[in-house]
Amino acid sequence: MKIDLKMKKLDLYVSKNFIKAFFLSLFAFINVFILSQLFKIFRYVADGRMTTSDGFVYVINMLPDILLNVTPLAVLLGSLMMINRMAGNLEIISLKTSGISFKRIILFPVIISVLISFAVYYVNGYIYPNSEKKLRELKGNVVSKVLPKEKRNGFVRDIKTNNVYMIKYINVEKGYAEGLEFIKLNDDFTEIEKVVIAERGKYNRETERWELEKAVVNNIKGRTSENHEKYVSEEYNEPPENFVTLSIDPRLLTTKELKKEIKDLRITGGDIREGMMELGKRYSFPFASFVISFLGLSLGSRYVRGNSAVSIVLCMALGYGYYILQASLESLGKNGLMNPFVSGWLPNIIFLGIGMYFVHKAEY
């Protein structure tokens, strides 16, 4: 009973100090970021692009983005400050001597870091998109849907000409396509009259016609087949823009809206890489706070006179190293060189391994 009471007091003491250090660090980082943006806001107000009240609203809507970016660093610095203070007062050594393991000492700060991660997940998925929309509106940027530049497995049905267009790949800007198949149906859409298959094609915007290369024209009704190096017909005039659907910046969508957008794009054959990248990041990045907490808690656990500055520098270097690795792998995911979810979670896995190594070292 006495042991349980002592452990409760220890958990309460450690948790209170960790929360205090975390919010102190978070407040400091938020102030730095806001101050760095104030001159830009003053310029907007001076130029007449914003009123004073708009400037205040702008600052409020900046907070979710700032929180997302600085919370892992606040957890890192807060955990380092808390554990370093305990080590400086020889509390860590005393607790270890009494038989309490280092893993048990840091248990509640780690649990609190998990709760912080879930809070960041909620902000990232449901508050940040709306605040980002508001920021763009205040800056005069119209939030609208845009046409994707390319698409795979495009499909269009033209009721006026009874044509069905199927394209494996199309670049809307260049008007270039690969793997084209145009099917001519009868008036009732019950029988196929003609099928045109081409390896490549380019849409001529002046003539408003598809210019096909290495095409095979199969006349089903006449039971004939013709091969053409170049083939152009006035009946095939569907512009490239009709093969893609409007999409919106995934950062402006809540997690629920983003999932629906990805589902719709997948059904219509749209490019889902950017959406999948954003979704993967929303699931993985919030847990950086949990992962990075192990670094701060372990590196500051040993008291060596004059070593605090070294621990802080090492911690911050590893913290920024996480951001650099995360940004690098994110670019690989966007370029299709890595699965979006793998590129999102790999930094967490790597730094969790590093953190657990330092926690193991801190036991001895």
- Decide: 136 and 143 in contact? Cβ < 8 Å: yes
Could you give the percent of the chain with pLDDT greater than 90? 32
The encoded tokens of residue 184 equal 């001519």
Averaged pLDDT for residues 148-159: 76
Q: What is the pLDDT of residue 50?
A: 79
pLDDT higher than 80, residue 196: yes
Averaged pLDDT for residues 273-295: 89
pLDDT higher than 70, residue 307: no
Q: What is the pLDDT of residue 247?
A: 65
Distance of alpha carbon 260 from alpha carbon 247, whole angstroms: 12
pLDDT higher than 90, residue 199: yes
pLDDT higher than 80, residue 244: no
Residue position matching structure tokens 């978070």: 26
Q: What is the pLDDT of residue 1?
A: 47
Express each pLDDT in 82-116 by its tens digit.
988 888 888 888 888 888 888 888 999 999 999 99
- Decide: 252 and 143 in contact? Cβ < 8 Å: yes
pLDDT higher than 80, residue 300: no
Residue position matching structure tokens 């998990």: 114
Distance of alpha carbon 10 from alpha carbon 2, whole angstroms: 12
Express each pLDDT in 126-148 by its tens digit.
999 999 888 888 776 544 455 56
The encoded tokens of residue 214 equal 């290495």
187 class by beta-carbon count within 10 Å (0-12 exposed, 13-18 middle, 19+ buried):
exposed
Residue position matching structure tokens 């907070």: 63
**Mean pLDDT, all residues of the chain:** 84
Task: Note the helical H segments in the chain.
Answer: 2-46, 52-88, 91-97, 102-105, 107-122, 128-138, 255-268, 273-284, 288-299, 308-334, 340-362
